[in-house]
């Protein structure tokens, strides 16, 4: 950005791009779409979170795990799955469904549903973080619905606000789905100027300026209204609030939740059907090193995020000086539209002296750490803030220095929570498309990029098979993580 602003022609570039009504109209339209996506995610996510977190429905603990899975897929793949159902040639498709799908309605529906697990998950965590006595005092005088709407939801508003902020930030960053559904958005406009027939990197730099303004606004909202309230609201309590018994509504309510949770798997099933045997048999030719690249970048990136998370998250949980600023930086990086972050990384690292980073997979690792470090910081801060600082104080009194306290006390004591942070970070690195697509070096394509680039001209069955491989990879990673967590808990 600094490089752009110090160049000679930046004023004329700003004038030619941002001086037109077209750019601002597109920005307003993109913000409108992101708000609509956020609203849909909240409408689906909050009631589902309340049902999953507060009721004794049938199999709801499993539904809680199932519902989150689509979030761990690049939304572009989910859209691809829906396309094989509702596209003109799709199993349930018609001209009308196709028209609806390839437009703002399809975009809002696809992304709203894909991001709704963010809201659901945080709602469940928020409900668990509420002091059970506040709930019981309300339950003694009011029916469940009133307790939920007047007491529980207002008490966890910082968590819901955080969920809305995350969904809005993810929506405004999204490139893959709008481009696939042929809906013009601002982030996609920036991306197209970094490659292809619209190649104009100078214009891309100019276009990211308003997005940077949005990122700062989001940061301001987060700092002012949410901040540390969100992760203290998500603190882990030893005593949990009561569960609402649904009585005669138990079976229908459970069925509705299961249907909504199961809907997330429909596009994945559609991709599986599309892939068929032919898709999988042709995989060797198309897969290349993308699978290895994805795993490598995700695991190294997640490890870097976790290390940063331990350092900053610990300071944040213990309210050390400067921690709020560092936390703010990680939040800013996350809420900054991915295209802006991508453009910034290009400007920073695309120099002859730094080609060892820019021209290798290292640039993707750097990008992942920059964008997703907030996951490590906030998750680990939430975990550490639920434990007494006394353990560290005693260790310190017994002569343990910082490194020794961290390595012998903090990390082993909270190993499960730290591993969860690593796992979430790894899954987010694995699914990233919208940022790395801006700068991935030749020969280092990750799996989502491979699928995205093949989608336009590659065989449909192979693209579907690659998408299933991605879903499988994520599922295996989560299952392995879950297994390790269970083993450690038993130990």
Partner 1 sequence: MSVVVALQNISFSYGQSQILDGISLEISRGEVLSLLGPSGSGKSTLLRIIMGFAAPDSGLVRLRGDVVSDSGRVYTPPEERNLAVVLQDLALWPHLTVEENLSFGLQSKHVARDEQKTRIARVLAEVDLENLARRYPAQLSGGEQQRVAIARALVLEPDAVLLDEPMSNLDIGLRDDLLDLFTSLFKQHGSTVIHVTHDPREAQRLGDNVAVMDRGHIVFTGNLEDLDPKHESQFVQLVCRHFR
Residues that bind partner 1 (CB under 8 A): 131, 133-134, 136-143, 146, 150-151, 154-155, 242, 245
CB of 46 to partner 1, least distance (A): 17
Cα separation, 346 vs 440, whole angstroms: 10
Cα separation, 160 vs 122, whole angstroms: 7
CB of 370 to partner 1, least distance (A): 36
CB of 133 to partner 1, least distance (A): 4
CB of 157 to partner 1, least distance (A): 8
CB of 15 to partner 1, least distance (A): 49
Nearer to partner 1, 184 or 229 (CB): 229
CB of 242 to partner 1, least distance (A): 6
Question: Considering just the CA atoms, what is the radius of gyration of the chain in Å?
Answer: 23
Question: 234-249 burial string, b = 16+ CB within 10 Å, else e?
Answer: bbeeeeebeebebeee
Cα separation, 155 vs 158, whole angstroms: 8
To 10 degrees, what angle do helices 21-54 and 250-263 make?
140
CB of 150 to partner 1, least distance (A): 7
Nearer to partner 1, 191 or 244 (CB): 244
> Residue holding tokens 């276009």?
207
Cα separation, 75 vs 396, whole angstroms: 46
Going from the C-alpha of 298 to that of each of 301, 406, 428, the distances in angstroms are 5, 24, 8
Nearer to partner 1, 134 or 256 (CB): 134
Nearer to partner 1, 244 or 258 (CB): 244
> How far from each other are the two terminal CA atoms of the chain, in whole angstroms?
50
Q: For residue 55, what are the β-bridge partners?
A: 244
CB of 258 to partner 1, least distance (A): 25
Q: How many Å separate Cα 299 from the centre of its chain? A: 16
CB of 134 to partner 1, least distance (A): 5
Tell me the longest C-alpha to C-alpha distance in the chain: 73
Per DSSP (E only), the strands in 111-262 are: none
Nearer to partner 1, 134 or 283 (CB): 134
Nearer to partner 1, 150 or 319 (CB): 150
Cα separation, 302 vs 365, whole angstroms: 9
Cα separation, 332 vs 223, whole angstroms: 10
Q: Which residues, at least 6 apart from 309, have a Cβ–Cβ distance to it below 8 Å?
A: 373, 375, 376, 377, 379, 380, 381, 418, 421, 425
Nearer to partner 1, 96 or 242 (CB): 242
Nearer to partner 1, 224 or 285 (CB): 224
Whether 176 and 452 have beta carbons less than 8 Å apart is answered as: yes
Nearer to partner 1, 107 or 253 (CB): 253
């Amino acid at each position: 950005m600094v490089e752009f602003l110090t160049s000679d022609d930046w004023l004329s570039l700003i004038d030619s791009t941002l001086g037109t009504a077209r750019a601002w109209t597109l920005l307003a339209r993109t913000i409108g779409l992101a708000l609509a996506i956020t609203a849909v995610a909240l409408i689906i996510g909050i009631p589902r979170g309340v049902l999953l977190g507060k009721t004794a429905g049938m199999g709801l603990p499993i539904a809680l795990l199932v519902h989150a899975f689509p979030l761990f897929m690049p939304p572009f793949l989910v859209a691809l799955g829906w396309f094989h159902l509702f596209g003109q040639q799709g199993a349930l498709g018609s001209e009308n469904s196709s028209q609806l799908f390839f437009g703002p309605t399809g975009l809002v529906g696809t992304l709203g549903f894909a991001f709704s697990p963010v809201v659901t998950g945080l709602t469940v965590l928020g409900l668990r973080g509420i002091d059970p006595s506040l709930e019981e005092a309300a339950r003694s005088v009011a029916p469940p619905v009133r307790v939920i709407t007047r007491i529980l939801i207002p008490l966890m508003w910082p968590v819901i606000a955080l969920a809305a902020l995350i969904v809005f930030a993810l929506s405004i960053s999204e490139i893959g789905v709008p481009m696939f559904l042929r809906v013009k958005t601002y982030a996609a406009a920036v991306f197209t100027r970094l490659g292809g027939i619209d190649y104009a990197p100078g214009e891309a730099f100019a276009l990211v300026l308003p997005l940077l303004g949005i990122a700062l606004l989001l940061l301001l909202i987060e700092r002012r209204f949410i901040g540390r309230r969100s992760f203290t609201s998500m603190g882990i309590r030893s005593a949990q609030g009561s569960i609402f018994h649904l009585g005669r509504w138990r079976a229908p309510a459970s069925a509705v939740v299961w249907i909504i949770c199961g809907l997330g798997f429909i596009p994945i099933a559609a991709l599986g059907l599309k892939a068929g045997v032919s898709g999988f048999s042709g995989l060797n030719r198309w897969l290349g090193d993308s699978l290895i690249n994805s795993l490598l970048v995700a695991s190294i990136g997640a490890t870097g995020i976790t290390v940063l998370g331990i350092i900053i998250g610990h300071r944040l949980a213990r309210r050390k000086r400067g921690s709020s600023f560092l936390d703010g930086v990680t939040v800013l990086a996350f809420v900054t539209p991915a295209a802006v972050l991508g453009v910034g990384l290009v400007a920073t690292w695309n120099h002859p002296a730094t080609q060892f980073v820019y021209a290798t997979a290292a640039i993707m690792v750097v990008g992942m750490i920059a964008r997703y470090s907030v996951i490590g910081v906030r998750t680990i801060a939430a975990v550490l803030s639920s434990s007494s600082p006394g353990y560290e104080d005693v260790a310190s009194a017994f002569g343990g220095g910082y490194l020794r306290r961290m390595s012998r006390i903090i990390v082993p004591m909270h190993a499960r929570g730290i591993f969860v942070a690593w796992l979430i970070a790894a899954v987010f690195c694995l699914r990233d498309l919208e940022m790395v697509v801006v700068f991935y070096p030749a020969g280092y394509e990750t799996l989502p990029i491979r699928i995205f680039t093949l989608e336009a001209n590659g065989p449909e069955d192979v693209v579907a098979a690659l998408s299933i491989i991605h879903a499988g990879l994520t599922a295996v990673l989560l299952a392995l993580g879950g297994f390790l967590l269970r083993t450690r808990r038993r130990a």
